[in-house]
Structure 1
Amino acid sequence: MNEFSQYIKLIGKGKKSGKYLTQEQANDAFHLLLTGQAEPEQVGAFLMLLRVREESEQELAGFVQAAREYSPLAIQQINADLDMGCYAGKRRHLPWFILAMLCLAQSGKRIFLHGCKEPDSNRLYLPDVFNALNIPISHTAEQAKAQLEKSGFAYMDLQQVNPQLNKLIQMRSLFGLRSPANTLARMLNPTSAPFSFHGVYHRHFDERHINVAKLLGDKHVSCIRGEGGEVEVNPERGFIQHLIHNDVISQLEFPTLLPNWQIKPRSLTPDELRQCWTGELQFEYAQQAITGTIACYLTLLDSIDVGQALTKAKQMWAERNTQFEFY
């Protein structure tokens, strides 16, 4: 048996005898996995055992620690203010958070986005949207730095940001299931930006992300249960925003921003994002999703309360430069 087999043995003994890995053990196990010291069969067994019984916060912290070491140094040296991992994709609504991000970038913040397209998924992912709108996708750290200087934001695919982690996510085509790699990618913060914002789908995962951030020593992190699991507010329901600032964990309560549920659009047309930005399209759901999302970003970045953030977000949206060149 090779070294990695001990970790499969620890977690795979069943409900009564199976163990949770310590943060140190999880770090070591993931190092072995990412450096090819585990056989393909072992990787599959390990990831699916974790999928069935769910990872502990200590395990997630150890996995993220290991994964961060395999982002290229040039990526780690990109100077960004805010990191956002966008891995869920959208299927009910367009990714309105793109317009929230543009507003934030126009205010002077430097935002680094990363994500990927999953196999066998019918969701709308950021590369599809950016290609449709002719928004540049960066393929190197140098391109990302140039895009940040020009527009205040840059997007890179996980394939360039962390190839080993991307390989694990793409294994969904083999398993038919997502693995813990999707959670790790959201927490990755490959540029070591001082602020990081996460979106999750499942209940209680928002709180877990913040607890893991504390174990990792990350200074300023926020997580919400976003629309479709993305970094976007769902204006049709109130929610709790979980944050950590310098080891202090807190929660903010956001109200419902729309009085009535909206009809789901029949199709997702990326050009509607451009039309909404320029003012050609007036869409109440979109406006509330955008301003609510901006407000969520501001509570993290500016440490202001919800009321102040919503007021400032509406002002930023009203004063946006509608001449941004999508094409």
Structure 2
Amino acid sequence: MSNQFRELLKKVGSGTHTGKDLTRQEAEMATLMMLQQQATPAQIGAFMIAHRIKRPTPEELAGMLDAYEKLGTKLTLAQTNTKLPVVFGNPYDGRSRTVPLMPITALILATVGIPVILHGGDCMPTKYGISLIEIWRNLGVDFAGLSISQTTNLLEKTGIGFIYLPQHFPEANTLVPYRDQIGKRPPFATAELIWSPLIGNYHLVSGFVHPPTEERFQATFKLKGINHYTTVKGLEGSCDLARSRTGIIGLGQPDGSFERLHLHPRDYDLDGTDLSLESTPQLIEQLQAVIAGKNCELMPSAILNGGFYLWRFGICSDLTTSFTEAESILTQGKVADKLNQLQSQITTNTSVTLSEIV
């Protein structure tokens, strides 16, 4: 048992009247001790549920991110890249109610030269929804098993990279079973939404559900010196905008200011129903139809999301133009070409690995 960790646990687990918040340095220390298994399983589980009840402060979230940055695998991009890369933070426990659009959005952005970094693991508690890695695998792109050098190479050549927890950050992956055992998302699930595994400058996009979470994000960004960010009240806490409701979006500006955007899909004839997630085979069929540029039920959602991010990242000067551009990219086969490039490059990376083993 770690006596040092026990003292940190006592601070967050002593209840409403005597409990105290951790400092940023203490939160980093506690996170490092859990990631490195210096704390016992009983201590780790107790910390997670106590901190879930207390709720993490921005200082504590910043400390958790400091620990993630010390131990987590990091990607780099060549200095010759002219467009600011984008890191998307989606809930690791996936989607269970609505169709995910992130792979389509990533392909659209990569098509216009914006590097996209995604991160996550396998099917995970507490939602046990379909994960991003599984969706990509069903689209013929298996990021699992790639070394960090191969992932970097893929990012450089195709514009899309994926940090896969079991492969690239096994310390964090060892904490996944606790999520099932405590039956709740731990504070790390919040930190994951605002974690970047990329070295250098980037634009961070984070999904959220509840307004207090977004407020914590903003305060944490200030502590971390992050000005390029976007917060999205998305479908199931993801970065996907809904067609069925007004999009509530936060726009962090380079000068440190913050602007609120309310995006009404009906203003652009893109409102409608958000498709339900019925099964994996049906989901993949729907995504493949969009990638093929077909006029299908999911196409307006793809245009809404792709167009918004094209505008947000400066590809188009206004939203009307950006939605038109997103539709053109899809219907002209450019997204399909990008997916083919990803599939081909994944095959090349795998072949190189096998030849090196032989």
2:325 to 312, 315, 323: 315
1:272 to 271, 286, 298: 286
Q: Please tell me whether residue 84 in structure 1 is matched to residue 77 in structure 2.
A: no
2:193 to 186, 189, 195: 186
- Structure 1 length normalisation: TM-score? 0.88
Q: Please tell me whether residue 225 in structure 1 is matched to residue 233 in structure 2.
A: yes
Aligned ranges 1:192-271 → 2 under 5 Å: 192=199, 193-246=201-254, 247-257=256-266, 258-261=270-273, 264=276, 266-268=278-280, 269=282, 270-271=284-285
Structure 1's consecutive aligned runs of 4 or more residues displaced over 6 angstroms after TM superposition are: none
SS of structure 1 residue aligned to 2:193 = helix
- Structure 2 distance, partners of 1:232, 1:124, is 15
SS of structure 2 residue aligned to 1:319 = helix
Q: Please tell me whether residue 135 in structure 1 is matched to residue 160 in structure 2.
A: no
Aligned ranges 1:1-327 → 2 under 5 Å: 2-72=3-73, 75-78=74-77, 81-86=85-90, 87-117=92-122, 118-119=124-125, 121-137=127-143, 139-192=146-199, 193-246=201-254, 247-257=256-266, 258-261=270-273, 264=276, 266-268=278-280, 269=282, 270-283=284-297, 286-302=298-314, 308-320=318-330, 321-322=332-333, 323-324=336-337, 325-326=339-340
SS of structure 2 residue aligned to 1:21 = coil
Tell me by how many angstroms 1:107 deviates: 0.2
- Structure 2 distance, partners of 1:9, 1:304, is 52
SS of structure 2 residue aligned to 1:204 = helix
Tell me by how many angstroms 1:35 deviates: 2.8
Tell me by how many angstroms 1:179 deviates: 0.8
- Structure 2 length normalisation: TM-score? 0.81
- Structure 2 distance, partners of 1:239, 1:9, is 40
Q: Structure 2: 5+ residue runs without aligned partners?
A: 79-83, 344-358
Deviates more, 1:152-161 or 1:256-265: 256-265
**Alpha-carbon spacing, 1:212–1:295, altered in 2? closer, same or farther (3 Å):** farther
Q: Structure 1: 5+ residue runs without aligned partners?
A: none
CA RMSD of aligned residues (A): 2.5
Paired residues of 1:88 and 1:229 also in contact (CA < 8 A)? no
Once the two structures are superposed, residues 290-324 of structure 1 have per-residue CA deviations (whole angstroms, 9 ceiling, x without a partner) of 2222244245422987xx13421331331345142
Tell me by how many angstroms 1:16 deviates: 1.0
SS of structure 2 residue aligned to 1:302 = coil
Paired residues of 1:81 and 1:194 also in contact (CA < 8 A)? yes
Aligned residues: 321
- Structure 2 distance, partners of 1:276, 1:88, is 24
Percent identity of paired positions between Structure 1 and Structure 2: 24
SS of structure 1 residue aligned to 2:262 = strand
Once the two structures are superposed, residues 46-100 of structure 1 have per-residue CA deviations (whole angstroms, 9 ceiling, x without a partner) of 111011121112111111111111113xx34345711113324122232222112
